[in-house]
């Protein structure tokens, strides 16, 4: 048995030494490590010996034809593996960012279903070779850590980060289908909602938790109003489908305006609540310089500007009197 006794040298660790050590330690063979790294055994041996000298500690116990890790080597191995894994992942991201026209977007489920997905064909027409990945989740993804370029988040103005850009303000209002309105009890005043089934989401995402019928009634100063019955679903998009099929009154919101701007749902009462929240754009610093990401951002800003303008025109045209807007307290 031979214990190498290195003499410490104060110089930076080399990447080659770390890779040689990791392969030899994982395989417990200099020969196998050399084959994996496409090097000679003597080259790997020199890499490992150089690393030991740089550290000033022995990492291996050398036997006739075998090697074994010392306690220092066993302690050092997982650290080296984590560092190399992060480095390899970073290199892969850089290569992909340069060579691949990919855009990854994370957003909350209701915005993806009601607003983003129906419009994606517009961006794809502009960038037909772009690979687009949409992740619909209510979990707030950390753009500094995870491999995501763009986040569209449901946030309140006071909690939005400074770099966030407001895309769409959230405003809530009752909606029904035209056939339902013709056959159901009268619905001309807020008090009339007591004779109707109220549809809402029971999801746990930020949009679902804040935008509820009780919150709507509290905001307009009539907390005592309750519906005849309730119909609840996990997702906001499902509540719109239920209302379109004539099953009750849904609490509509601006980013779902395509449904009622098309005439499938209408507003029976001129009352709206501004929640103080909205859909915000946040971009990863790492991705800002990529052409595909910049193109997606430009497209998204143009689409939301167009959408907000069309929504304002529709609201004014559809209502003889201005809509009463109430700002919901936090």
Residue 322 has pLDDT above 60, yes or no: no
Residue at which a domain ends, from 99, 123, 149: 99
User: For residue 62, what are its two tokens?
Assistant: 């050398």
Tell me, what CATH number does 75's domain have?
1.10.10.10
Same domain? For 87 and 195 the reply is no
Q: Which of 45, 66, 99 is the C-terminal boundary of a domain?
A: 99
Confirm whether 282 is domain-assigned. yes
- Whether 61 shows a pLDDT value over 80: the answer reads yes
pLDDT band at 324 (very low <50, low <70, confident <90, very high): very low
Residue 159 lies in a domain: no
Domain residue limits at 36: 2-99
Residues 181 and 271 placed together within one structural domain of the fold: yes
Are 198 and 85 part of one and the same domain? no
Tally of domains in the chain: 2
Would you say residue 1 has pLDDT above 70? no
Same domain, 203 and 78: no
User: Are 95 and 170 contained in the same domain?
Assistant: no
Do residues 310 and 171 both lie within one domain?
A: yes
Q: What is the mean pLDDT of residues 253-264?
A: 86
Return mean pLDDT, the chain: 85
Please state the pTM of the whole predicted model.
Answer: 0.66
- 141: in domain: no
CATH number of the domain enclosing 315: 3.40.190.10
Q: Is the pLDDT of residue 326 over 60?
A: no
Q: Is residue 148 part of a domain?
A: no
Same domain for 317 and 184: yes
The CB-side HSE value for 36 (13 A sphere, CA atoms) comes to 16
For the chain, the straight-line distance linking the first and the last C-alpha, in angstroms and rounded, comes to 72
């Amino acid at each position: 048995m031979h214990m190498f006794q290195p003499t410490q040298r104060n110089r930076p660790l080399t990447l080659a030494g770390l890779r040689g050590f990791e392969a030899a330690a994982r395989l417990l063979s200099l020969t196998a490590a050399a084959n994996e790294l496409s090097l000679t055994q003597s080259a790997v041996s020199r890499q490992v010996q150089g690393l030991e000298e740089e550290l000033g500690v022995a990492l291996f116990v050398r036997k006739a034809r075998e090697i074994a890790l010392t306690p220092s080597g066993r302690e050092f191995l997982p650290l080296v593996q984590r560092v190399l894994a992060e480095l390899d992942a970073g290199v892969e991201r850089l290569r992909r960012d340069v060579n691949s026209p990919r855009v990854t977007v994370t957003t909350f489920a209701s915005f993806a279903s009601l607003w983003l997905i129906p419009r994606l064909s517009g961006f794809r027409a502009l960038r037909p070779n772009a690979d687009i990945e949409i992740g619909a989740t209510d979990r707030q993804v950390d753009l500094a850590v995870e491999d995501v370029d763009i986040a569209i988040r449901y946030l309140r103005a006071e909690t939005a980060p400074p770099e966030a850009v407001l895309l769409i303000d959230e405003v809530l209002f009752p909606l029904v289908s035209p056939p339902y309105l013709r056959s159901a009890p009268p619905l001309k005043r807020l008090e009339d909602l007591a004779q109707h089934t109220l549809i809402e989401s029971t999801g746990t995402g930020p949009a679902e938790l804040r935008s509820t019928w009780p919150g709507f009634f509290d905001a307009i100063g009539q907390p005592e109003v309750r519906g005849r019955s309730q119909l609840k679903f996990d997702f906001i998009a499902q509540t719109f489908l239920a209302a379109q099929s004539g099953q009750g009154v849904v609490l509509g919101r601006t980013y779902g305006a395509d449904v009622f701007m098309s005439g499938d749902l209408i507003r029976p009462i001129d009352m709206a609540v501004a929640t103080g929240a909205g859909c915000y754009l946040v971009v990863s610093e790492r991705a800002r310089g990529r052409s595909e990401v910049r193109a997606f951002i430009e497209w998204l800003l143009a689409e939301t500007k167009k959408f907000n303008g069309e929504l304002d025109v529709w609201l004014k045209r559809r209502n003889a009197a201005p809509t009463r807007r109430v700002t919901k307290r936090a």
